[in-house]
Amino acid sequence: MSKPIYCDKCKKEIRVREDLVTATMVIEVVPYHEACYAKDLKGAKTFFLDNQPINGFSGNVGIFFVMILAFFWLLFADGASKAASLLALIPIGYRLYSYLTYERHVEK
């Protein structure tokens, strides 16, 4: 079930989970080596690359569950906009996608 994950910048395989950074670029989730991500952040892609890694500080489990709670709260709260609850789903979707597509294939 394991498949190699290749860094979007240097095209080399990412072997350890600690070295894997996933980030959104426009609407796509891309995998990076930690060092390569830092380089791209300072490079020409800055404008397109989200400076918050999905699986890093802002993408930790706590935030993930807060987003889920926010989603259900918005969904069931009286008069709350359903559109707002859908917006809360976007980061959850990215987080799940990042995990399923990249993180679970890279050894811890």
Q: Which stretch binds Zn ion (CB under 5 A): 28-36, 41-49, 53-61, 81-89?
A: 28-36
Residue with the CB atom nearest Zn ion in the bound state: 7
Contact 14, 105 (CB under 8 A): no
35 HSE (CA, 13 A, CB side): 4
Residue 21 engages Zn ion in binding (rule: CB under 5 A)? no
Q: What are phi and psi of 23, to 5 degrees?
A: -145, 160
Q: Which stretch binds Zn ion (CB under 5 A): 23-31, 34-42, 61-69, 81-89?
A: 34-42
Beta bridge partners, 30, equal 23
Binding site for Zn ion (CB under 5 A): 7, 9-10, 33, 36
